[in-house]
Amino acid sequence: MFCKIAAGQIPADVVRETGTTVAFRDINPQAPTHVLVIPKVHHPDAASLAAAEPGIAADLLREAGQVAGEEKLESYRIVFNTGSGAGQTVFHAHAHVMGGRGMQWPPG
Ligand code: AMP
């Protein structure tokens, strides 16, 4: 499904786009700012992306920082849920960029 968002085939609230990534607002936000950054290429999770295409993994992290800057987040969290036991529900690599409220540590 995120492949279709990357291809522009299903709508999303896109906040940034580069040649290799798309950033869009999470449909079910868990923080005042909750943006997902995805690679346009398909890999099932962040580690797989980094192993196969490290340059695009770096693009993803750079874009996460750009989103945080544009959203004026002084503190924020970048989350990569990996595996269903950790809460991953969409098996296309994505970074959650979350901020705008206090963050607990350790996360649940
Ligand atoms: P995860 O559970 O880590 O795999 O994260 C998947 C995220 O994608 C969840 O936070 C969902 O709310 C979000 N999501 C699912 N479908 C869409 C969509 N069509 N547009 C925006 N966010 C979505």
Q: What is the mean pLDDT of residues 5-28?
A: 97
Ligand 1 proximity of 12 Cβ (cutoff 6 Å): yes
pLDDT digits (tens, 9 = 90+) for 50-60: 999 999 999 99
- All domains of the chain in start order, with CATH: 2-99 (3.30.428.10)
Catalytic residue positions? Answer: 94
Calpha distance 11→26 (Å, rounded): 12
CA dihedral (44, 21, 97, 3) positive or negative: negative
Provide the pLDDT confidence category of residue 103 given band limits of 50, 70 and 90: very high
Ligand 1 proximity of 23 Cβ (cutoff 6 Å): no
- Whether residue 75 contacts residue 69, with contact meaning beta carbons closer than 8 Å, is answered with no
Assigned token pair, 92: 């296309």
Query: Above 90 in pLDDT, residue 108?
Result: no
Ligand 1 proximity of 9 Cβ (cutoff 6 Å): no
Three-state DSSP class for 96? strand
pTM: 0.98
